[in-house]
Structure 1
Amino acid sequence: MSRFANIFKSTFVRATLGATGAAAATVVYLDFIRPPAQPQIKNSYTPLAKTAPAPPSRDELMKRLKETDKYDMLIIGGGATGTGTALDAATRGLNVCLVEKNDFASGTSSKSTKMAHGGVRYLEKAIFQMSKDQLDLVIEALNERGNMLRTAPHLCSVLPIMIPVYKWWQVPYFFIGCKMYDWFAGYQNLRSSTIFSRETTCALAPMMDSTNLKASCVYHDGSFNDSRMNAALAVTAIEKGATVLNYVEVKQLIKENGKLIGALAVDRETGEEIVVKATATVNATGPFADKILEMDEDPKGLPPKTPQPPRMVVPSSGVHVVLPEYYGPQGMGLLDPATSDGRVMFFLPWQGKVLAGTTDTPLKSVPENPVPLEEEIQDILHEMQKYIAFPIDREDVLSAWSGIRPLARDPSKLPKGKEANGTQGLVRSHLITQSETGLVTISGGKWTTYREMAQETVDTVVKNFKFDHPIGPCKTNELILVGGDDYSKNYSARLIHEYKIPLKLAKHLSHNYGSRSSIILELYQESDQNKLPVTLATDSTFEPSEDEASKGNKLSYQSFDQPFTIAELKYSMKYEYARTPLDFLARRTRLAFLDAREALSAVDGVVDIMRAELNWDNATAKKMAKEAKSYIGLMGISSKKFDVEDFVIQ
């Protein structure tokens, strides 16, 4: 190498080392002197809300009811539409009173198919019948489905639904239908529909009979907890200033100069009568709308002495059954697009079980407490058997119930005294009418469209009645229901981390109470008693069996395979107005709907806790226990495996 090359090499090395050293020094300087860069990932963690102001007690609400001279609006009926209307009106600035004869969601609103959906069967009818009304109903429901998922994220979730296909020509037929369903949902489409091969379908649904199976189409809808949603609406309405009361029955409508000015109501707990005056009265009693309309037609506002056939409501019974989780694919529903009588039927995952239904049996009248018939249960099992690879055992039915589907008919199109026949005057969507006395009646529709029904009802009242104060616009599109604020889909993990509780309990609380779960868990940690499942809460009033007594102090959460604790029961009484064992077992929790046998075994424990909290005497406690056991005993339990009479207190 030449001398010049050596000089160049040494100079280059020195320069390189010098530059490297300077860079290293700069890095060291920047690391120790310059502030560190902010992380790019944003942490969404906020502390759990462990306390919340208790809502007004029932006694305080009753006091408010008595002391209020006149409400802007009186709503009769505490189901989905009634509580939705109360919330809409209260958030607009109206002074609202709602009274419910029984409990919130005690009727049809707790007995739905648990779906927030547009209705694929309505879309099919809209296309083949060229029906704009059917198409409008689908688009309306798809829009409201998005509202439910947004306003109650803890109670509503996206559910894939599989349609098994057994003929090759049906693959494009069903897939095009699913894609049209996506298209009509517009920007609120949940997820894109797709096709699964036979192999993928069998992997997702191993219980399915794959004989002749060609493929499956999968679309997406919403799933929700109906009675929990109803309770959330009632509590949120109370938070917004409404007076909302269960177990208050309207006995008479009050009129002045031929116009409705309020109602005579009775507190069913005390027997006390209260006159409730209001500028506008809304009939939101669902299947029982005709009873209020009959009182409205009477000059004195009294019900007829003999029962009358319904004129506005065209009732039919829809039965559902609940089976163990292995009867359906995990996290995915199943749609039977064509049953033997031409209907559709769903088999859906719900609260860790499989929900199957529904039937459609026309009725002549509306029963106070509809009961599923054995032939209706067998009809559902028969349809389900077409898809299941093993024989369905009737004794596997954990629960069954009947709800009344209230199709609406315009009563003005049916002459008075004439019995309704056929489908004359039927509307597929909801119907709002106003009588000569001023009674506003909202009927028909379905759970998914409750919010729009409520909005239109309040719009009708604001348009047709005069108020002495300004009324704001509808706000329920943006309003988040109680428990939905600060909620995220990983909430159960946060509860486990904070409280060290079992996964099943964490999921149950987070998916049913949302951000209010931590309030229940604060009660849960207060005492060992509050940690017990409700079935183990019984005391000496109802003597334990020798087997129970032999357990001594070994009673634990794991002794009961359901995540319903005494802490949750106490919360439901303080924050959600549970007044009877059925309120808790059937509606605040869904134990009676998920497993009627377990619910029967839990009645005594629930009664003991409620007796202590609500100051019941022994006679009241026994009456409440008997009523609960009689009701739950008719929820489809197989008589071969379970003797209901053993549980009824004589």
Structure 2
Amino acid sequence: MSRFLKSGFAKSILAAGTLVGGTIIYLDFIQPKKPSQLVTSYKPLTKEFKAPPTRSELIDNLKKTANFDVLIIGGGAVGSGTAVDAATRGLNVCLLEKTDFGSGTSSKSTKMAHGGVRYLEKAIFQLSKAQLDLVIEALNERGNMLRTAPHLCEVLPIMIPVYNWWQVPYFFAGCKMYDWFAGKQNLRSSTIFSTEQASAIAPMMDTSNLKAGCVYHDGTFNDTRMNVTLALTAIDNGATVLNYFNVEQLLKDKHGKLIGVKAKDLETNEEFDIKATSVVNATGPFVDKILEMDEDPQGLPPKTEQKPRMVVPSSGVHVVLPEYYCPQNMGLLDPSTSDGRVMFFLPWQGKVLAGTTDTPLKKVPENPTPTEEEIQDIINEMQKYLVFPIERKDVLSAWSGIRPLVRDPSTVPKDQESTGSTEGLVRSHLLYPTESGLVTISGGKWTTYREMAEETVNYLVEHFDYNKNLKSCQTNDLILLGGENYTKNYSARLIHEYKIPLKLAKHLSHNYGSRAAGILELYTKNDRNKLPVTLAATKEFEPSLEAVTDRNNLSYQSFDEPFTIAELKYSLKYEYPRTPVDFLARRTRLAFLNAREAMQAIDGVVELMSQELNWDNETEQKMRKDARNYIGNMGISPKKFDVEEFKVQ
């Protein structure tokens, strides 16, 4: 028996060895080799693009269209995402934005595509399925953002510094559960770093009492570039999308049903009656303004300001610091600040983003600005982790955004304070139809914008008769403009082709994707196009160095920011900026990254935009003033900013 077992065992070993050996021979010598990635992925750069319709052409389309299928009010993340979803299904779409795409909350996020580790903690300890569903939903949509906008979104490791031994297994278990709930959408496995490893990665961090660092992974992205890309993608799919169009009135038929809007072009003051089968209110923190108009039989806004009923607003402030305040490729998370909040310190666009605060508000301000107390609050929290002091003058920029938590407005009496009760508060988003047919979508967060848009269009298709054969939702697989043929080595390809600095190549590839070469074609056209926008104000079209230095403070800092005249010229042709702030704060993020340098750039940007858009002297002066007021409130100084310092002599 023993001899038999030994013989059987030997045969099994032999069979296994034969199988392994045969597999190796097949894989190494018989199976055809895959072609080189140089052949399969290194396609020629796309250097020319068909220009989108001009603003005038979009307005002409507005005039010619008797009835749109869908009219969307609001050009933030959800409004623009809804326009993309509806247009790609085959609906005739119009979107109107009062100011600029992403000018409100959508440009002032924490720049995270994430499921929310803090919501997972609440889900576990509160045994809340609703909270857990929020996390799983957002984790799925995080994967969608990384897949459909690969140039704008990337994976970011985030380290949680742990200063007590008992917390190490607690935080690591939480990170592993975060991985687990992401399922096949998980980005990378969480891990633990020793004190020595953490210190090597983050030498600016105080590790004197550090026990370990728990590292998990989320996504980071450029929110306003994403927003603008959504608007451009909607236009590319046939939608009529216009910024600086204000809805003055909701139009109703004799039965009180919504049939369109009266809107004004804020550049010309021309008014339009725009008819539509369905109207979507996607105005973020301002959804109550449109709901108030809907309550009026004539569709007009109330004569006195009303208290918000659907939105429960709170202010979230972020600050930007120089790059040496955080590792270049890893963020830090403070899981419990002194007042119980979560705070992020993240590398973003070559700088460090820190935030956020959470200050309840009674009403929604048009232009929220950060207070000095809120800026200091973030500085004080960050100081706990650093081995050197944070100086107030190191704050390069700061801004405030409104977080629109929502609740069912039908449950809230009209005279109730918006912050007086959280009864009926929805932690996710809320789709709210009214009897007139107005469909309001609000709440949620950037990460779930696509799902909110899909839910909204699904509702429209189900409840409105469009008399069309429509496609199903396309946005799960739709690659946004700039993501086509994009690869993670795109910046290297730009350097190889155009011999440009790495910083410029990364900036262009990570914000424009496969369309970056279009900017570099302008960049190489002449030397003036290579100048930073901070040095764009000149008397001569082809300036001498003396002409530049006479009008600007020439310094290394001017060339350290990768925003050029070529990028401005590209933006004017392809991306619909209408004011200097549109370009300095949203098409590029210069105002958000370095407000002082953005202030220096105003005169040059005005000069170039005036040439393109045919502004008169009065318009130029107004644009300068508005830009200085906007950027001057972005945390440059704790005192009132003196704009005289930046006036051209």
TM-score (norm 2): 0.92
Aligned to 1:349, the other structure's residue is in SS state strand
Query: Which residue does 1:79 correspond to in 2?
Result: 76
Alignment of 1:98 onto 2:98? no
Letter in 2 for 1:582: V
Checking the alignment, whether the CA contact within 8 Å between 2:398 and 2:592 is kept in structure 1 is yes
Alignment of 1:190 onto 2:181? no
Query: Which residue does 1:127 correspond to in 2?
Result: 124
- C-alpha separation between the residues in 2 aligned to 1:311 and 1:553? 49
Letter in 2 for 1:316: S
Alignment of 1:603 onto 2:602? yes
Checking the alignment, whether the CA contact within 8 Å between 1:626 and 1:649 is kept in structure 2 is no
Aligned to 1:560, the other structure's residue is in SS state helix
Alignment of 1:482 onto 2:478? no
- C-alpha separation between the residues in 2 aligned to 1:197 and 1:230? 39
Query: Which residue does 2:315 correspond to in 1?
Result: 317
Query: Which residue does 1:633 correspond to in 2?
Result: 632
- C-alpha separation between the residues in 1 aligned to 2:209 and 2:113? 31
Checking the alignment, whether the CA contact within 8 Å between 1:321 and 1:355 is kept in structure 2 is yes
By how many angstroms is 1:529 displaced?
1.7
Letter in 2 for 1:394: R
- 1:549–1:112 distance in 2 versus 1, CA, 3 Å: closer
Checking the alignment, whether the CA contact within 8 Å between 1:395 and 1:640 is kept in structure 2 is no
Checking the alignment, whether the CA contact within 8 Å between 2:293 and 2:301 is kept in structure 1 is yes
- C-alpha separation between the residues in 1 aligned to 2:625 and 2:62? 31
- C-alpha separation between the residues in 2 aligned to 1:131 and 1:401? 33
Query: Which residue does 2:18 correspond to in 1?
Result: none
Measured against aligned partners, the alpha-carbon deviations of 1:603-642 in whole angstroms (never above 9, x if no partner) come to 0010000000111111111110110011000000125797
Query: Which residue does 1:432 correspond to in 2?
Result: 431
Measured against aligned partners, the alpha-carbon deviations of 1:437-482 in whole angstroms (never above 9, x if no partner) come to 0000001000000000000000011111111111210000000000
- C-alpha separation between the residues in 2 aligned to 1:400 and 1:550? 29
By how many angstroms is 1:419 displaced?
3.2
Identity of aligned residues (%): 74
Query: Which residue does 2:584 correspond to in 1?
Result: 585
By how many angstroms is 1:40 displaced?
4.4
Checking the alignment, whether the CA contact within 8 Å between 1:146 and 1:188 is kept in structure 2 is yes
Checking the alignment, whether the CA contact within 8 Å between 1:630 and 1:648 is kept in structure 2 is no
- C-alpha separation between the residues in 1 aligned to 2:224 and 2:429? 20
Can you give the 5+ residue segments of structure 1 that lack an aligned partner in the other structure? Answer: 1-36
Letter in 2 for 1:352: G
By how many angstroms is 1:501 displaced?
1.1
Checking the alignment, whether the CA contact within 8 Å between 2:326 and 2:352 is kept in structure 1 is yes
Checking the alignment, whether the CA contact within 8 Å between 2:278 and 2:464 is kept in structure 1 is yes
Checking the alignment, whether the CA contact within 8 Å between 2:538 and 2:548 is kept in structure 1 is no
Query: Which residue does 1:363 correspond to in 2?
Result: 361
Aligned partner of 2:287 among 276, 289, 293: 289
Aligned to 2:560, the other structure's residue is in SS state coil
Checking the alignment, whether the CA contact within 8 Å between 2:603 and 2:648 is kept in structure 1 is no
Checking the alignment, whether the CA contact within 8 Å between 2:535 and 2:548 is kept in structure 1 is no
Alignment of 1:178 onto 2:203? no
Letter in 2 for 1:304: P
Query: Which residue does 1:423 correspond to in 2?
Result: 422
Query: Which residue does 1:200 correspond to in 2?
Result: 197
- C-alpha separation between the residues in 2 aligned to 1:400 and 1:269? 29
Letter in 1 for 2:36: I
Checking the alignment, whether the CA contact within 8 Å between 1:163 and 1:335 is kept in structure 2 is yes
Letter in 1 for 2:318: H
Aligned partner of 1:49 among 29, 41, 46: 46
Checking the alignment, whether the CA contact within 8 Å between 2:260 and 2:279 is kept in structure 1 is yes
Pairs within 5 Å for 1:164-175: 164-175=161-172
What value does the CA root-mean-square deviation take over the aligned residues?
2.2
- 1:59–1:583 distance in 2 versus 1, CA, 3 Å: same
Query: Which residue does 1:449 correspond to in 2?
Result: 448
Aligned to 2:218, the other structure's residue is in SS state strand
Letter in 1 for 2:211: K
Pairs within 5 Å for 1:314-463: 314-420=312-418, 421-463=420-462
Measured against aligned partners, the alpha-carbon deviations of 1:115-140 in whole angstroms (never above 9, x if no partner) come to 00000000000000010100000000
Pairs within 5 Å for 1:531-542: 531-540=530-539
- 1:495–1:130 distance in 2 versus 1, CA, 3 Å: same
- C-alpha separation between the residues in 2 aligned to 1:473 and 1:280? 18
- 1:499–1:459 distance in 2 versus 1, CA, 3 Å: same
- C-alpha separation between the residues in 1 aligned to 2:613 and 2:314? 37
- C-alpha separation between the residues in 1 aligned to 2:97 and 2:383? 40
- C-alpha separation between the residues in 2 aligned to 1:526 and 1:68? 40
Checking the alignment, whether the CA contact within 8 Å between 2:534 and 2:558 is kept in structure 1 is no
- 1:552–1:594 distance in 2 versus 1, CA, 3 Å: closer
- 1:644–1:469 distance in 2 versus 1, CA, 3 Å: same
Query: Which residue does 2:297 correspond to in 1?
Result: 299
Query: Which residue does 1:163 correspond to in 2?
Result: 160
- 1:159–1:335 distance in 2 versus 1, CA, 3 Å: same
Measured against aligned partners, the alpha-carbon deviations of 1:97-153 in whole angstroms (never above 9, x if no partner) come to 000000000000000000000000000000000101000000000000000000000
Aligned to 1:530, the other structure's residue is in SS state helix
- 1:538–1:138 distance in 2 versus 1, CA, 3 Å: same
Checking the alignment, whether the CA contact within 8 Å between 2:538 and 2:547 is kept in structure 1 is no
- 1:281–1:560 distance in 2 versus 1, CA, 3 Å: same
By how many angstroms is 1:646 displaced?
2.6
Measured against aligned partners, the alpha-carbon deviations of 1:235-266 in whole angstroms (never above 9, x if no partner) come to 00000000000000000000002100000000
Query: Which residue does 2:249 correspond to in 1?
Result: 252
- 1:477–1:50 distance in 2 versus 1, CA, 3 Å: same
Alignment of 1:495 onto 2:487? no
By how many angstroms is 1:523 displaced?
1.2
- C-alpha separation between the residues in 1 aligned to 2:217 and 2:118? 14
- C-alpha separation between the residues in 1 aligned to 2:397 and 2:555? 25
Measured against aligned partners, the alpha-carbon deviations of 1:368-396 in whole angstroms (never above 9, x if no partner) come to 00000000000000100100111110110
Query: Which residue does 1:20 correspond to in 2?
Result: none
- C-alpha separation between the residues in 2 aligned to 1:363 and 1:39? 59
Stretch of structure 1 that moved more, 528-537 or 169-178: 528-537
Letter in 1 for 2:572: M
